[in-house]
A and B are shown apart, each in its own frame.
Chain A
Amino acid sequence: MLPPRSTDALTKTSPNRVVAIAGNPNAGKTSLFNALTGAARHVGNYPGVTVELKEGRAREARTPFTVVDLPGCYGLTAYSQEERVARDFLLCHRPDVIIDVVDASNLERNLYLTVQLLELKLPVIIALNMVDAAEKRGMGIDHESLTRLLGVPVVPTVATRGTGIPELTATCEAVLDGSIRINPIAVRYGHPVDELVVELAGALQPLSRMDPPMPAEWIAVKLLENDPAVWKRLKDFGDAALIHQAETAQRTLENHCNRDGASILAERRHGIATGAARQCVTRQRSEQRELTDRIDDVVCHRVFGPALLVGVVAALFFWVFKLSDEWAWIPWPGEWKSPTGIIETCFTGVEWLIRPIEGPFPMLHSLLHAALVRGVGGVLSFVPLIFFMFLFIAFLEDTGYIARVAFILDRLLRVFGLQGKSMLAMLIAGGIGAGGCAVLAVMATRTLREEKDRIVTMLVAPFMNCGAKLPVYAMLIAAFFPYRRTEMMLLLWGLSWVFALCAAWLLRRTVVRGEQTPFVMELPPYHLPTARGVLMHTWERTWAYIRKAGTIILAVNIVLWAFMYFPRPSDANATPEEQLRYSMAGRVGTLLESVSDLAGFDWRTNVALIGGFAAKEVIIGAMATAYAMVDTPEAGKDETEVAISLSGRLAADPAWNPLRAFALMLFIMLYAPCMSTIAVMRRESGGWRWPLFSLGFSTAMAFLVAVGTYQAGLALGL
């Protein structure tokens, strides 16, 4: 929730004027924001991509102004989180200008929001966007008559190509410096609404001056349509006579029209929008079905649709791994390397650089090695995988295919208490093959307007195999299932879905009980994404991942290193293993052995798993340390070699066997989401309740599954 800011405070704190961009999801708001500010922001062809307020500076303007990109919304009823954010911003911050981005090829529905923006009595400029697409559909729009009808400037734009942006900037400036005065029409709803609004607005003057100030007419309209937030404001104001008057007015309206207030006002607004659209749109509609419909005949076909979906997922699985890791396709001095290989080589270089300090400063070397090479390097070696995965997802998202995936799978996911739109979050978390990120998945749940579906998706998405779990799987598989690599990866992928769906089912019947919420989703027309757009989007997500490596994972690795380094045993000849056991982490790990024994984990594994609470990336390095496979100066090992030698060590260790390795993999798949995920969950769910629940629930589930598997395996004599 944004802190309220009065108009005075705004002028004092920022000398710059604020221009807010509002509009329907998919109307091209983000493209317009990028074009105005030159910012690298993602544009998706998936309803609801703008999930938080993004600020930028208009770059073409003579006197720069701040541009704020509001979340896309269909109305201002504050029904979904996005609408609440947009509405709160408009009400509390009262921007100096609102740019209303209107999809020209979908004028009628888009103008419904415009009407609601006009109600706010703020200066509105309409950016009539995607005029090219409208023309392609055989629609001609007379923007001058739109100006006349609504009393606001209308600027035709094609934001993706930058068409109309200088004109839009100039219009904004003209409005900001007062050379153009906007006189938007007063919205008229017809009899008897208008009369009731006027009457009520007169009485509401004192309430409208309360902080944040709102137009009295707007409050009156919202009261008539039964807006809970505005009713609360009235009740908090505590004027019994006023409350009575509002209630009477609302009853009068509902009795007169024989329908509820919300329906009446929505109908009247749609009436205004439709009327305006009809007066300025000329069209020659062709008899031919549109391209999108013809594509959908295949994509949503009963047989071809699901087949195509499987094909797409399989292709993704294949290409992401080939391009990032398996194929050496980038030229490198003397050889060809894979992108992952290059990063690993770089960190081998870092290791080599810090080696000289090991003699004089063993402690510093140990710290640098743990934090930089193993910590940051371990994370960065997954950047290529993450990059290619997000590249494919961004491409599919921008074409509009992901919305169809949601459409096709909704029925299936509903059985488990999820819904079609949960799919995007699950995919980003690593639902296709492996190698996603739960942090980004939790952020992606914002496109779910339905609170309960959103919470459940947020809680189960971390079960997917994120990029950080992969190296641990790879190491254990190499040690215990060397000839079953693909099969094991597929099994772990399948199991992650089974556990996620079962957990969703369980949660829906216990903690997040309640009716299933409506699923209403726009299916955007297909379009060919621009390379720039897809790359920007991919980069933005990849960068979020990289940043995590530089901040939280680095910090955690340092803390963890301290826990594993101190206190030191007095015996200088102690082996690394003895030193670790003597340390803080070793003691806790040993303490937990009595419980973890049920799942077959010894104290060394416990130490690694404790580290994994912070970030799963930490596990492999911690295990390497625990199994004394580190820092032999003459060996010059990089991450992969550590993993390989570690897996060799485990394979040879009589205490380890495939069953124990499998139980450990299941535990790692399911237990507590990493600290970054928890932090994002707190932010996204607005409190500590769900992140803490997630910690407990996931860990309990992981423990039960691991113990169950291990004990069942023992009973079967494996």
Chain B
Amino acid sequence: MSALTLYDLDRGEWARVRAVRGGGHGIRRRLLDMGITTGTEIRVERHAPLGDPMEIVVKDYRLALRLEEARHIEVERIAPPTVN
């Protein structure tokens, strides 16, 4: 079974990034610069009306990315963090 990726998550789910794999150097670089690194927590906010791209919330801001890119982001599901 292949690893769980951001692609597999539904709206409202939370996840922690395990790794950013595959893709070209450019895409990995780009995702890294946008703050998607190992350990980052992500919430899936919604999908666009045509199902793709998806909107995620990472480090308190909203990011749109295509499902194609989401497949490169390996994640694990986590419970929504509690507000401190």
Contacts and interface: CB of A to CB of B under 8 A. Distances in A.
A193 to B, nearest CB: 15
Nearest to A116: B33
Contact of A108 (B19, B38, B52, B59): B59
Contacts of A519: 53, 64-66, 69
Interface string B18-49: 01100111111111111101111000011011
B63 interface: yes
Given A267-B38, A517-B26, A407 B61 contact: no
B29 A408 contact: no
Nearest to A268: B37
A79 interface: yes
Given A293-B45, A518-B23, A109 B30 contact: no
A77 B48 CA distance: 29
Contacts of A515: 24
A420 B69 CA distance: 15
B55 interface: yes
For chain B, the bracket of interface size reads: 35 or more
Contact of B33 (A74, A292, A524): A74
Interface in A481-524: 515-524
Contacts of A302: 49
Contact of B48 (A262, A408, A520, A522): A408
Contacts of A293: 45
B66 A522 contact: no
Given A109-B35, A285-B83, A420 B53 contact: yes
B18 to A, nearest CB: 12
Contact of B30 (A105, A297, A520): A520
Interface residues of A, number: 50
A243 to B, nearest CB: 20
B48 to A, nearest CB: 5
Given A270-B37, A411-B50, A520 B83 contact: no
Given A263-B20, A407-B53, A410-B53, A521 B63 contact: yes
A306 interface: yes
Contact of A520 (B38, B46, B60, B65): B65
A523 B65 contact: no
A153 B55 CA distance: 35
Nearest to A277: B59
A234 B59 CA distance: 35
A266 B83 contact: no
Given A411-B53, A518-B69, A520-B69, A263 B59 contact: no
Contacts of A408: 48-50
Given A263-B20, A296-B46, A79 B61 contact: no
Contacts of B60: 105-106, 108-109
Interface string A264-284: 001100100000000000000
A411 B49 CA distance: 9
Contacts of A306: 49
B45 to A, nearest CB: 7
Given A112-B35, A408-B48, A521 B64 contact: yes
A625 B45 CA distance: 60
A542 B40 CA distance: 44
A412 interface: yes
Contacts of B20: 263
A601 to B, nearest CB: 41
Interface string A297-308: 100111101100
Contacts of B27: 517-518, 520
A263 B65 contact: no
Contact of B28 (A74, A263, A270): A263
Contacts of B29: 77, 79, 262, 266
Nearest to A412: B50
A410 B37 CA distance: 25
Interface in A400-433: 403, 406-408, 410-412, 414, 420
Contacts of A335: none
A109 B59 contact: yes
Given A300-B46, A523-B62, A79 B30 contact: yes
A378 interface: no
Interface in A79-135: 79, 105-106, 108-109, 112
Interface in A282-296: 285, 287, 292-293, 296
Contact of B59 (A106, A303, A411): A106
Contacts of A75: 32-33
Interface string A386-405: 00000000000000000100
Contacts of A410: 48, 52-53, 64, 66
With most chain B CB atoms within 10 A of its CB, the pick from A287, A406, A523 is A523
Nearest to B65: A520
A90 B14 CA distance: 38
With most chain A CB atoms within 10 A of its CB, the pick from B33, B55, B62 is B33
A106 B37 CA distance: 17
A408 B60 CA distance: 21
Interface string A631-661: 0000000000000000000000000000000
A263 B21 CA distance: 10
A297 B31 CA distance: 25
A514 to B, nearest CB: 11
A74 B34 contact: yes
A262 B28 contact: yes
A463 B6 CA distance: 38
Nearest to B61: A106
A399 B39 CA distance: 32
Contacts of B34: 74, 109, 520, 522
Nearest to B37: A267
Contacts of B52: 410-411
Contact of B26 (A79, A285, A296, A301): A79
Contacts of B31: 518, 520
A106 B61 CA distance: 7
A77 B28 CA distance: 12
Contacts of B45: 293, 296
Contacts of B30: 79, 449, 518, 520
Nearest to B20: A263
Given A296-B46, A300-B49, A523 B25 contact: no
Given A74-B33, A267-B32, 16 more contacts: A106-B59, A259-B19, A263-B28, A263-B37, A296-B46, A296-B55, A300-B48, A403-B64, A407-B48, A407-B64, A410-B64, A518-B23, A518-B26, A518-B68, A523-B63, A524-B62
16 contacts: A106-B59, A108-B60, A109-B60, A112-B35, A300-B46, A403-B64, A407-B48, A407-B55, A411-B52, A414-B66, A518-B27, A518-B31, A520-B31, A520-B63, A521-B63, A525-B62
Interface of B: 19-20, 23-35, 37-40, 45-46, 48-53, 55, 59-66, 68-69, 83
Interface of A: 74-75, 77, 79, 105-106, 108-109, 112, 226, 259-260, 262-263, 266-267, 270, 285, 287, 292-293, 296-297, 300-303, 305-306, 403, 406-408, 410-412, 414, 420, 449, 515-525
